Amino acid sequence: MHERDHRLTLLGRVRSALAEAGVPHALIGAAALALYGVSRSTYDIDLLATERSCLDQAFWASLSASGAVLEVRKGDLDDPLAGVVRFTEPAERPVDLVVGKARWQAEALARAESRIFAEVELPVLRAPDLILAKLYAGGPQDAWDIAQLLAAGDRERLYKEVEQHLGDLPTPAVRLWRRIRLEDPSR
């Protein structure tokens, strides 16, 4: 990392390390929701990548040298994720890099669009892909997030785009989507 990069926020430095290594990544979670008009409070910032080299401590040597503390948690063979890297630093919002292992996640990253969040320009999952990620996670908060994204956006376009990629998701995610569609008050 360049000397000037040390002045960047933790998010900016994580993003720079990923970009310099050519690793596709994007903002996800509550931070991405906020960019689509959905307000949900969380303190950490979530990013998605699919490059497993991100789970190697050596990949982050320059960040560690600049004072960031990182914790790598690798998933096992049955885990839907390859792992998570948590970055912390005093007076900074924690950053979690979720490392996926599904083809659809890599395709979603390829469709990500550049936006500004917390004064950092970075790729952000498009709303339909964020819905796919929420379906994949499948929790009650994820279902609520999806309903809010649908309410805040062009519902019909979102339905159409999500359904184009729904076949790439596991059965529980498809079931959740069907339930959300049935419960949609605009239907």
Query: Letter for the amino acid at 9?
Result: T
Domain locations in the chain as residue ranges: 1-125, 126-187
| Rounded to 5°, angle at Cα 139 from 177 and 170 | 50
Residue 112: DSSP 8-state: -
Q: List pLDDT tens digits, range 86-130.
A: 999 999 999 999 999 999 999 999 999 999 999 999 999 999 999
Q: What is the mean pLDDT of the chain?
A: 93
pLDDT of 2: 40
Residue 157: half-sphere exposure toward Cβ, Cα within 13 Å: 9
pTM of the shown model: 0.93
53 versus 6: the higher-pLDDT residue is: 53
78 versus 164: the higher-pLDDT residue is: 164
Distance from C-alpha of 165 to C-alpha of 167, rounded to nearest angstrom = 5
Instruction: State whether residue 52 is helix, strand or coil.
Output: helix
Q: Is pLDDT of 186 > 80?
A: no
Q: Is pLDDT of 132 > 80?
A: yes
Average pLDDT over residues 2-14: 72
1-125, what's its fold? Beta Polymerase; domain 2 (3.30.460)
pLDDT of 78: 87
Average pLDDT over residues 12-30: 97
Query: Letter for the amino acid at 134?
Result: K
